[in-house]
Amino acid sequence: MQGELDPTWPINPVRRADKAPPATRRRASLWEREWQPNFPGWNAPRPDALFLALRPGDASGRDIIDLARVQQRRYGLRGNPIDENRLHVSMFGWDGFREPPAGVVDVLSESVQSIGLAPFTLGFGRMMSFRHGGGKPLVLLPNEGMAEFEALCRLIWERLLSRMLVTQKFKPATPHVTMLYDFREIAEQTIPPIRWMVREVTLVHSLRGRKGLGPIHRDMARWTLAG
């Protein structure tokens, strides 16, 4: 095997296995041992990704696009707003393949459906530019629902850990929504709050590098929060 995945947040590219000596290399997850090596083209230059995400509702999605357009005009940004059907809050995921393996949806379904967490409100009242490679994506940052978001991620992670789909300890992350990609840096500032009721978790297949286009997101499954 040429590389191994680091199945933690955020989704990381395939790493070279020789970065860690054999004696200190962590135990491989089920993803790496059984699924990843069998994918045609798993080590391709632009491997696809699977990730769990929270999708905004239709009204909140339109509000995010409208806000992105306002900031685009205000700051003279060249990047266009993300397509509405790609707006999301990432939880965590895995990459390094071309086609999702048979069985992964079943394992995730059992894990997500067993958590018993009630729907909650997730709100965003700040925005700023992140530093990401050579670009600076403009993102929304939360001011409501962070504790519930972390609890949801932790509960799912613990169940995936018991199924060996992940092997590392859970590390909490700050939820955010990417509005657009640009090269200009925008300082953190408050915005009129954008919020929605989180009622489901979505499994997204991110198809990368198709015909020179940006990632194409295909929703593979949805699970309702019914705690």
**3-224: which CATH number, 3.90.1140.10, 3.50.50.60, 2.60.40.3950, 3.40.50.970?**
3.90.1140.10
Instruction: With CA atoms as reference, report the closest residue to 55 among 227, 224, 226.
Output: 224
Residue pair 130/139 in contact (Cβ under 8 Å)? The answer is yes
Taking the CA atoms of 59, 65, 68 and 70 in sequence, report the sign of the dihedral they define. Answer: negative
pLDDT in tens, 156-211: 999 988 888 888 889 888 899 999 999 999 999 999 999 999 999 999 998 876 65
pLDDT at 211: 58
For 47-73, the pLDDT digits (tens) are 788 899 999 999 999 999 999 999 999
Q: Which one, of 103, 82, 80, lies nearest residue 206 by Cα?
A: 82
| Closest by CA position to 189, among listed 130, 135, 141 | 141
pLDDT at 43 over 70: no
Confidence of residue 93 (pLDDT cuts 50, 70, 90): confident
What is the distance between the alpha carbons of residues 126 and 72, in angstroms, rounded to a whole number?
Answer: 16
- Please name the amino acid found at residue 171: K
**pTM of the full structure:** 0.78
Q: Where are the domains of the chain?
A: 3-224
Q: Average pLDDT of 23-27?
A: 48
Per the document, the length of the chain is 227
